[in-house]
Amino acid sequence: MEKTKKPAASSARSIAAGAVLGLLLAATGLWGSQRHLIFEPVRAAQAAPGELAAAAVDVSISVQSPGRPVQKLDGWWIPGARSDSRTVLYLHGNDENVATSVREIAPLRELGYAVLLVDYRGFGRSEGGFPSEATVYEDAQAAWSYLVHERGVDPAALYLYGHSLGGAIAIELARRHPEAAGLIVESSFTSIADMAHLQARYALLPLDFFLNQRFESIRKVGALQLPILYLHGTEDELVPFAMGQRLFEASSRSAQFVAIPGGHHDHDASGAAVIRGAVLAFIEGKTLAASAR
């Protein structure tokens, strides 16, 4: 009897060892490649500032990582309709740039707000190599400093707006700058780990041990004290609508939530109208009764 059991036990051990080795190899691959799984930098511009209906101008913003030379970010500055217009710092998603974001900022332009769009290093015409969580946080901070120190924007009139991955970046910037007037998060996720768990290929990996790009917004929003507006598409095909709701539920009582008809990038007539109305009410200090708490 023992002679028949030993091969089976040995086979089971071999299978287990192979499975462990396979997981380790997959995790090692994930460690080295995850930046490329998260970021999809778009270099090519589909428009120039002069092609916008609004008077947009190119701006150059200095940024420096510790121990590295100064690099330049490319941005577009769109002045407000009035000299006292509120200012919005717009942070785009993982596969966009300032030129491809023109449609998404249309509601802000229509409301007459001043808008700064900025490309992270590695995107658009900004300098730098492939981005990381650390560098995009630095880039957002550089854009904030540019607005406050070079353009003289009062933080009390400066709103942070992030779409998708840009929402996670805006949340981190709001954590660092509670003096900002408010935070708008559109179609964003709870964390990279939660997004990865949506894919079957990562289901067995111990992601908490192997992620070096985390974007853990769900752990940050509860500590934010500034007003927050969450916007999320009811049919979002990339970031589940439930993730937007979870961010809202984890936030302080100063948060509001508005559902947008459509998907992740839907800014058609109906979606744009909902966004425009929600942003106007939020920035003008009105409470959206259906979603406030």
Note the pLDDT tens digit of each residue in 76-91: 999 999 999 999 999 9
**What domain count does the chain have?**
1
Question: Is residue 22 assigned to a domain?
Answer: no
Question: Is residue 175 assigned to a domain?
Answer: yes
Question: Is residue 13 assigned to a domain?
Answer: no
Is the pLDDT reported for residue 9 higher than 80? no
Question: Is residue 64 assigned to a domain?
Answer: yes
Least confident piece of the model among 122-126, 246-250, 267-271:
267-271
Mean pLDDT, all residues of the chain: 86
Look up residue 150 and give its two tokens: 């070079």
- pLDDT > 90 fraction of the chain, expressed in percent and rounded: 65
Question: Is residue 33 assigned to a domain?
Answer: no
Q: Give the pLDDT score at 233.
A: 94
Domain that holds residue 51: 39-283
Look up residue 18 and give its two tokens: 């192979």
Question: Is residue 48 assigned to a domain?
Answer: yes
- pLDDT band at residue 135, thresholds of 50, 70 and 90? very high
87-91 vs 114-118, strand pairing mode: parallel
Task: Report d(CA 49, CA 57) in Å as an integer.
Answer: 6
Q: Which CATH number does the domain housing residue 137 bear?
A: 3.40.50.1820
- pLDDT > 70 fraction of the chain, expressed in percent and rounded: 80
Residues labelled catalytic: 164, 236, 265
Q: Give the pLDDT score at 184.
A: 98
Question: Is residue 83 assigned to a domain?
Answer: yes
Task: Report d(CA 168, CA 179) in Å as an integer.
Answer: 18
Q: How many CA atoms lie within 13 A of 269 on its CB side?
A: 0
- pLDDT band at residue 241, thresholds of 50, 70 and 90? very high
Express each pLDDT in 202-226 by its tens digit: 766 666 767 889 999 999 999 999 9
Question: Is residue 1 assigned to a domain?
Answer: no
